[in-house]
């Protein structure tokens, strides 16, 4: 380096670019170093090596960050091939990527291994760094990386892994090919402090058969890069299927819901991947094997920088509170009317007619408000309009699935384009009888259906998960007519004109509903085509 022979690892002075002479590493034998993490005075190494300073250190080691000398703290030994299928691919055993929480108490390691210190940990292990020496966390394990994906091609399909800034969760990226029902070619969020022998992810976002590699996390977004064509594509196998959205090789996920945010610069050509990402206070750096950002729009050879200044502001996820104003669109007597009801949580004032913003409320299929935008159902799916309590913006169809910038652009893979597909929720929209947004999810009810359904949702992009789930509930919602929620309570209108309240926490409805307003209680008729709790000034 700079004309001086160095081996294994070196420390550079960032002001001069010169190697620091006092930093000398021991012999690292048996393979290469793939990843580095610095925490305090300790430098952690991960890779496909077998020994450090002639001592067994399969895949992991730690050094003194100042001198480079071996530090005995890390002595977790990785062993075994993930892929044991006869005739399958065989790669080096060890770490492909790892990260440590900012407080230095936890480490997550991804790579080609079946055990860690003799404990079964297929391709992913959590390590406790809070003791006198590193130790495998015996309370954190998952079996979800046990399946083999394309056994002839991959010994391990793990790629990138990163903790959130506060260390409360981490994200894993993978390759592996289109293997529905596995975590191959998917981005996954796990909770750091979950416990169990088969921990499940908080959410999954699949590409539909393409690799996702590097990742960086901020308080606002989870940035991911690969050679993916789409995201939100769980049914796709080298094709865009229901729910798929174009995300050419670069995306940002909503940390809560795992759905892509609106930011969509893309990279064409896709190349092999974005191999490295670094989020700084000023912006995002990426390193790839390609030279262009966008559809051959900005020439950035291998390294690109995305400054936050002048970029997109992520939409608010704030919802309304009580006491507050509930809007009722499309009353039983006036088809396209819009009314307001002041509601405290236990009592309501008489309904008042207000301007309807030009929206045909009698033809809508329920609504919810997040930030300054009202999302409402229609016969063709989900629509959105801004609203400040007085003025309505122009309503538009929520369609991030057919981004006009990328819709008809050839991906360079077969005959595919980057165009996506509407999710199955859009075909359900005409039958929706209530909707509410809460903690990254849209909860909704359907005509004649007793269940409370839900799907992950990003208010920023309007992308809704293709996977549709059912919440645990003690209530029959077959006659529901509008929903809103606040402070652990779900309020729902009914076709009998009453508003009822029921406990609602951690995505589950429990207990018995209580009527809180209605024709014989306070004279308010809650029947509607759309109901939402207002959020904002006024």
Return the domain boundaries, the chain.
36-44+78-307, 324-533
Nearest-angstrom CA–CA distance, 209 and 182: 11
DSSP for 408-424, please give it: T-B-SSTT-BS-----T
145 and 188 Cβ atoms separated by less than 8 Å = no
229 and 418 Cβ atoms separated by less than 8 Å = yes
For strands 499-505 and 469-470, give the pairing.
unpaired
* pLDDT for 538: 61
Beta bridge partners of 99: 108
- The number of angstroms, rounded, from the C-alpha of 461 to the middle of its chain's C-alpha atoms is 13
261 CB burial (10 A radius; 0-12, 13-18, 19+):
buried
233 and 207 Cβ atoms separated by less than 8 Å = yes
Nearest-angstrom CA–CA distance, 49 and 488: 51
Within a 13 Å sphere around the CA of 154, how many CA atoms are in the beta-carbon half? 23
Nearest-angstrom CA–CA distance, 396 and 391: 15
| Residue 396 DSSP symbol | E
Name the strands in the sheet holding 42-47, side by side, starting at the edge strand that comes first in the sequence. Answer: 33-39, 42-47, 60-64, 70-71
Supply the pTM of this predicted model. 0.97
Nearest-angstrom CA–CA distance, 460 and 489: 25
User: May I ask the CATH class of domain 324-533?
Assistant: mainly beta
Nearest-angstrom CA–CA distance, 50 and 77: 9
273 Cβ contact list (under 8 Å, min separation 6): 159, 211, 213, 214, 225, 226, 227, 249, 288, 289
Nearest-angstrom CA–CA distance, 411 and 36: 33
- Residue bearing tokens 């450090």: 52
* pLDDT for 60: 98
Q: If DSSP codes are grouped into helix, strand and coil, which group holds residue 502?
A: strand
* pLDDT for 381: 97
Beta bridge partners of 71: 62
* pLDDT for 271: 97
pLDDT in tens, the chain (538 residues): 777 777 889 999 999 988 998 999 999 999 999 999 999 999 999 999 999 999 999 999 999 999 999 999 999 999 999 999 999 999 999 999 999 999 999 999 999 999 999 999 999 999 999 999 999 999 999 999 999 999 999 999 999 999 999 999 999 999 999 998 999 999 999 999 999 999 999 999 999 999 999 999 999 999 999 999 999 999 999 999 999 999 999 999 999 999 999 999 999 999 999 999 999 999 999 999 999 999 999 999 999 999 999 999 999 999 999 999 999 999 888 889 999 999 999 999 999 999 999 999 999 999 999 999 999 999 999 999 999 999 999 999 999 999 999 999 999 999 999 999 999 999 999 999 999 999 999 999 999 999 999 999 999 999 999 999 999 999 999 999 999 999 999 999 999 999 999 999 999 999 999 999 999 999 999 999 999 999 988 6
Q: Which tokens go with 43?
A: 């430098």
Beta strands in 14-100 (DSSP E): 28-29, 33-39, 42-47, 51-52, 55-56, 60-64, 70-71, 78-79, 94-100
What is 36-44+78-307's CATH number? 2.130.10
* pLDDT for 3: 77
* pLDDT for 447: 97
Q: Where are the alpha helices (DSSP H) in 38-184?
A: none
Determine if residue 42 is left, alpha or beta; phi over 0 gives left, psi from -120 to 50 gives alpha, anything else beta. Answer: beta
* pLDDT for 112: 98
* pLDDT for 6: 78
């Amino acid at each position: 380096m700079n004309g001086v022979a160095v081996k294994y690892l070196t420390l550079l002075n960032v002001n001069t670019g010169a190697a620091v002479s006092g930093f000398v590493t021991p012999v690292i034998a048996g393979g290469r170093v793939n990843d580095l993490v610095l925490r305090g005075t300790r430098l952690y190494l991960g890779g496909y090596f077998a020994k450090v300073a002639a001592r067994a250190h399969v895949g992991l080691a730690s050094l003194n960050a100042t001198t480079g000398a071996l530090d005995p703290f890390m002595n977790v030994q990785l062993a075994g091939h993930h892929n044991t299928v006869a005739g399958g691919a065989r790669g080096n055993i060890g770490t492909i990527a790892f990260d440590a929480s900012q407080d230095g108490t936890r480490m997550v390691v991804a790579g080609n291994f079946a055990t860690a210190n003799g404990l079964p940990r297929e391709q992913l292990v959590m390590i406790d760094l809070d003791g006198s020496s590193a130790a495998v966390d015996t309370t954190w394990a998952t079996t979800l990386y046990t399946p083999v994906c394309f056994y002839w091609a991959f010994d391990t399909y793990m790629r990138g892994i990163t903790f959130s800034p506060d260390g409360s969760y981490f994200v894993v990226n993978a390759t592996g090919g289109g293997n529905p029902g596995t975590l191959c070619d998917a981005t996954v969020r796990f909770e750091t402090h979950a416990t169990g022998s088969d921990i499940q992810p908080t959410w999954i976002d699949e590409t539909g058969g393409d690799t996702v590699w590097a990742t960086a996390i901020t308080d606002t977004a989870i940035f991911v890069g690969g050679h993916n064509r789409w995201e939100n594509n769980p049914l796709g196998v080298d094709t865009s299927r229901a729910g798929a959205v174009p995300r050419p090789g670069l995306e940002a996920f909503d940390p809560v819901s795992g759905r892509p945010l609106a930011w969509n610069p893309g990279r064409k050509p896709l190349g092999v991947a974005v191999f490295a990402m670094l989020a700084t206070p000023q912006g995002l750096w990426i390193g790839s094997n390609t030279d262009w950002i966008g559809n051959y729009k900005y020439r950035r050879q291998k390294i690109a920088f995305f400054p936050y200044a002048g970029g997109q502001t992520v939409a608010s996820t704030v919802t309304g509170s009580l006491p507050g104003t509930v809007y009722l669109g499309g009353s039983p007597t006036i088809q396209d009317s819009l009314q307001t009801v002041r509601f405290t949580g236990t009592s309501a004032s008489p309904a008042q007619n207000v301007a309807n913003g030009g929206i045909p409320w009698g033809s809508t299929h329920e609504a919810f408000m997040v930030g300054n935008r009202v999302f409402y159902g229609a016969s063709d799916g989900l629509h959105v309009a801004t609203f400040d309590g007085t003025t309505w913006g122009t309503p538009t169809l929520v369609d991030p699935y057919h981004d006009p910038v990328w819709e008809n652009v050839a991906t360079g893979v077969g005959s595919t384009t980057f165009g996506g597909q509407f999710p199955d929720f859009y075909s359900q929209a005409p039958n929706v009888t209530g909707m509410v947004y809460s903690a990254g999810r849209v909860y909704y009810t359907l005509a004649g259906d007793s269940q409370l359904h839900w799907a992950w949702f990003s208010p920023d992009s309007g992308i809704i998960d293709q996977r549709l789930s059912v919440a645990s509930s003690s209530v029959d919602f077959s006659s529901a007519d509008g929903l809103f929620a606040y402070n652990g309570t779900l309020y729902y209108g009914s076709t009998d004109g009453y508003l009822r309240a029921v406990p609602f926490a951690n995505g589950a409805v429990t207990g018995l509903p209580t009527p809180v307003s209605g024709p014989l209680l306070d004279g308010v008729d809650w029947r509607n085509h759309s109901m939402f709790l207002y959020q904002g000034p006024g």
